[in-house]
Amino acid sequence: MLTDEMRETLIQKALHARDWAYAPYSDYAVGAAVLTESGKIYDGVNIENAVYPLTMCAERVAIFKAVSQGEKSFQAVAVVTRNGGTPCGSCRQVMAEFGMDTVVLIADTDGTLLAEYTVADLLPDAFGQADLEQP
Ligand code: THU
């Protein structure tokens, strides 16, 4: 059960992580924080590259950090941007891999929660593992 206190903690973690964003090309810093089912928090930032397509989003950095530590199920992901931007399609697909019920919190740099979704809200009819099952 995701409490308001946890929502606040997660947003603050994402907000502070955002200071480490490496976004010299877009100047659009993003911070993310993911809360695992086991109660741990992993944060992430967007990391751009002079070869633009190599850029990695904050949400995926946070999720990949968690998965690389053995975590595969997530209660919530907080995303902080200057204007309440929502996760891109690639990040939605990566979130969907690990559960459609994960809560996605969208906040701005004041730490204000602007919107709350589930992954299912953000990516209806997602392609997933079940689609790869042999007939
Ligand atoms: N970005 C993210 O980090 N997450 C998203 O979901 C949307 C976009 C980053 C990528 C790039 O560094 C900058 O925001 C502008 O697209």
The 8 Å CB, 24+ separation contacts for 60-69 are 60/90, 60/91, 60/94, 61/32, 62/17, 62/32, 62/33, 62/34, 63/34, 63/94, 63/95, 63/98, 66/34, 66/36, 66/40, 66/42, 67/98, 69/40, 69/42
Residue 71 annotated as catalytic: no
Q: Cα(54)–Cα(52) distance, rounded to whole angstroms?
A: 5
Q: Which residues line ligand 1 (CB under 6 A)?
A: 23, 26, 28, 30, 46, 48, 55, 57-59, 85, 87-88, 91
Which tens digits make up the pLDDT trace of 31-85? Answer: 999 999 999 999 999 999 999 999 999 999 999 999 999 999 999 999 999 999 9
pLDDT at position 44 is 98
Residue of the CA atom closest to atom 3 of ligand 1: 57
pLDDT at position 25 is 98
Specify the residue for token string 């559960």.
99
Q: Tell how far the Cα of 31 is from the centroid of ligand 1, in angstroms.
A: 9
pLDDT at position 135 is 84
Task: Look over the chain and give the mean of its residue pLDDT values, rounded to a whole number.
Answer: 98
Model pTM above 0.95:
yes
Of 59, 71, 116, 133, which is the active-site residue? 59
Specify the residue for token string 């992993």.
42
Q: Cα(9)–Cα(54) distance, rounded to whole angstroms?
A: 30
